[in-house]
Structure formats: C-alpha cells, structure tokens
Amino acid sequence: MAGGALAEVIESRADGFKPGDLVFADTGWQEYATAPAAALTRLERAEPLSHLISLYTIPGLTAYFGLLKVGQAKAGETVVVSAAAGSVGSLVGQIARIKGCRVVGVAGGAEKCDWLVREIGFDAAVDYKAGDFHKALKAATPDGVDVYFDNVGGDVLEAMLFRMNERGRIACCGAVSQYDTATPRGVRGVPGLIVVRRLRMEGFIVHDFYDEAPTALADLRAWAASGQLKVQEDIIDGLENLPAALIGLLAGENRGKRMVRVVTDRQ
C-alpha cells in the first residue's frame, strides 16, 4: 500500500541527507523503506513531531492553498467545508475564521457538529446524516455560500450547488463519498447551475502550490503558536492496525488527522 509518512533517515549515500534527518516520504505501509533522495522532503523538527504530519505537510498546505488560492475566500464571505471534522476540513474552517469569513461545516453526526461549533470555533455545523440536509443547510447559510471547499463530492456537493451565490467558487479537493462505494454517481446541477450562477469549480492538488509553501508554513506556524489554530490528532498505534485505521477513516471514525504510529517517537 502507498502511504505518506514522517520518517527518519537511518542510512544515506546521497549528499545532503544523514542519519537522524527527518523526512516526509512515500514509504508505503512498512517499517523501513528505501527511496531516492529526490523523492524525500526534508522537515525541520517540530513540537510535537506529529504536527509534521497533521499540520505542516499535506493537511495544512491543502487547507491553506485550497481555501485561499483556489477558493479565493475573502473577509465577510460565507465559506462551507465538508468532511469538516476531518484533517483538512477542520483546518479549512479555522483558517477561514482567521481570515474573517463566516464558516459552516458539514459533518456526520451531532457529536462532530457540536465539537466543531463549541471547540473549533465554526459559526455553524450541519449533520448530513440527520435527514432533510437541504433544509438544514439552507437554515445554516441564510445569505447563500460564496466558497464551498469540497472534500466529499456526491450528494453533499449536489446540495451545495443549489446554495451557491453568483460568482461563487467551489474548490474541489477530494471526493471521499465516492472512494468506497459500489454505486458511484454524478451530480445534478453541473453544468446548469455553474452557468446560471457564473460559478467557478476548480480542482487542485496540493503540490501545485509547493513553490509558495514557505509563506503558507510561516502563517500556519504563527497561527498554531498563538492558539488560533487547533490541531486535532487521532493517533492509532501499530503497523498491524493500519487496515482497520483506513477502513475506519472512510467510515468517519476519525476526528482530525488520523495517523498510525509505526515506531515510537525519538524526540
């Protein structure tokens, strides 16, 4: 299985890497991996080390660039994010709040929705599993939606298209509702609502913006240090628990970034 990991260099014949260096690497699901130096991203130590996975690599950069570069969110606008209690989603909502937006999360279950509002600082949250999602979404977004950060696709995306304001932006980050289904489906409203409401719907991959990572990382570090950004982590121990951890992630078991610790941290 492919899998991105925070890893420590044990041995290197490449210039610039020595034992003890921390790197982000596609190690796969295993305790040891070999990789060409060009495929490694060097990481500065952070406290706790787990933030190198939950904030300072893919989740933080995806949330930051997807919201601000693709979504072009501006102060005073309404931002909705799906899979809001997850790793990327919980950061998207908090960054949007920092930027002065009104933020509504979409998540599965009352407990996750309460947590988003009470502890993470979302203005509202809608449980897409509770029934009459369209009505609840309308009540939570009385002024319509300017930016929708889409992590899930499917039914939630379809409902969101009907809530978008003219010139709204949909940042297509992922389609988790479609990853594990036997009945993948399209979405009504494409292209009709895109045309009539002059929407922009744009997909992106976090790597597209890596040239600008230093600016993003400086902001993320400052917000985390000041307490404006809360980083929720969901760590499971043991390589043998990786399959169950992935299945549980797709079933919505996680809150924040789900990670599996393969070896004990050496601080």
Ligand X SMILES: NC(=O)c1ccc[n+]([C@@H]2O[C@H](COP(=O)([O-])OP(=O)(O)OC[C@H]3O[C@@H](n4cnc5c(N)ncnc54)[C@H](OP(=O)(O)O)[C@@H]3O)[C@@H](O)[C@H]2O)c1
Contacts to ligand X by CB under 6 A: 58-59, 62, 83, 85-89, 107-109, 112, 151-152, 156, 173-177, 204-206, 249-250, 252, 254
Q: What is the rounded distance in angstroms from the CA atom of residue 54 to the CA atom of residue 200?
A: 29
Q: How far is the CB of 12 from ligand X (least distance, A)?
A: 28
Closest to ligand X by CB, 37 vs 242, is: 242
Closest to ligand X by CB, 28 vs 76, is: 28
Closest to ligand X by CB, 9 vs 52, is: 52
Say if residues 130 and 110 touch (Cβ distance below 8 Å): yes
Q: How far is the CB of 10 from ligand X (least distance, A)?
A: 27
Q: Are strands 233-237 and 257-261 parallel, antiparallel or unpaired?
A: parallel
Rg of the chain over Cα atoms, rounded to whole angstroms, equals 19
Q: How far is the CB of 151 from ligand X (least distance, A)?
A: 4
Q: In three state form, how does the secondary structure of 123-166 look?
A: CEEEECCCCCHHHHHHHHCCCCEEEEEECCCHHHHHHHHCCEEE
Closest to ligand X by CB, 113 vs 199, is: 113
Closest to ligand X by CB, 14 vs 205, is: 205
Q: How far is the CB of 90 from ligand X (least distance, A)?
A: 8
Q: How far is the CB of 255 from ligand X (least distance, A)?
A: 8
What sign results for the dihedral spanned by CA atoms 31, 34, 39, 42? positive
Task: Give residue for tokens 């931002």.
Answer: 79
Q: How far is the CB of 66 from ligand X (least distance, A)?
A: 7
Please list the residues that pair with 104 across neighbouring strands.
80, 124
Q: How far is the CB of 261 from ligand X (least distance, A)?
A: 17
Closest to ligand X by CB, 87 vs 94, is: 87
Closest to ligand X by CB, 198 vs 200, is: 200
Please list the residues that pair with 260 across neighbouring strands.
236
- Residues 6 or more apart whose Cβ sits within 8 Å of residue 111: none
Q: What is the rounded distance in angstroms from the CA atom of residue 255 to the CA atom of residue 78?
A: 23
Could you tell me what percentage of the chain is helix, strand and coil, using 3-state DSSP and rounding each to the nearest 5? 35, 20, 40
